[in-house]
Structure 1
């Protein structure tokens, strides 16, 4: 048995709460501080915490590199797609009021989708950066290559 059992148990307890808190920050962003960027950072930090406790290979099995790269594109496409849909419906780029019959509902719908795109993009970018740096070979030497 490994000696880091306490850290593993604490991680198993904390990570689900961190992810739920990310959802709270995401959906509370319409009414107060928070939103997609902060929620994306919390999601990425949860996966990074998992990687620090269980190891990088375990984290890459849970959230593979291919999924991270797909999410990079999906997040940007969601964000940009909201703007394009606004253009197609006769508004300006990222004018949300045309996204529903009632301008207020259109604003809420547009903000929800844009913030979701931001969350996905930020989480994926942070994970990609972490995977790249954490996956570097350590035997390159102290003074460089």
Structure 2
């Protein structure tokens, strides 16, 4: 598949809109359907398409395994960090009302941060799973 010029041109055309759509789902997940999990999977699909067309080796240059492991941990820490921050502010775990003076703004900030952590974790885990299975020798 790597040497098919039609597939390469279509992939070049589709990868950026796929990533843009993932960001749309990520940042509009608190207003409607979607959120971190869906956005993470969609974002990982862009990298998977890239690696199917241009090769896993080239995709690993763009997203090396050490970076993906770091992003997995950062996503979990962001999610947990929001919960710990609300506890340090005198509330319970993930009590978003305490993140701002106005409880409605606090809810918005909390959901945005938690969904960002989920999206980061899901995208990096999906990419690690794909790279791990794609790199196996039969």
Indicate whether the TM-score tops 0.5.
yes
1:19 aligns with 2:9: no
State the shift of 1:137 in Å: 1.4
Q: 52-61 or 129-138, which moves further after superposition? A: 129-138
Aligned to 1:130: 130
1:46-66 Cα deviation digits (max 9, x unpaired):
100100000000100111111
Aligned to 1:143: none
1:24-51 Cα deviation digits (max 9, x unpaired):
1011101100000000000111100100
1:63 aligns with 2:82: no
Work out the CA distance in 1 between the residues paired with 2:136 and 2:95: 43
Aligned to 2:104: 104
Give the TM-score normalised by the residue count of structure 2.
0.97
1:7 aligns with 2:44: no
Residue segments in structure 2 that go unaligned for 5+ positions in a row: none
Work out the CA distance in 2 between the residues paired with 1:93 and 1:15: 37
State the shift of 1:3 in Å: 4.4
Q: Matched residue pairs, number?
A: 137
Over the aligned positions, Cα root-mean-square deviation in angstroms equals 0.9
Work out the CA distance in 1 between the residues paired with 2:129 and 2:43: 14
Query: Which aligned runs of 4 or more in structure 1 are off by greater than 4 angstroms?
Result: none
Work out the CA distance in 2 between the residues paired with 1:28 and 1:128: 26
Residue segments in structure 1 that go unaligned for 5+ positions in a row: 139-145
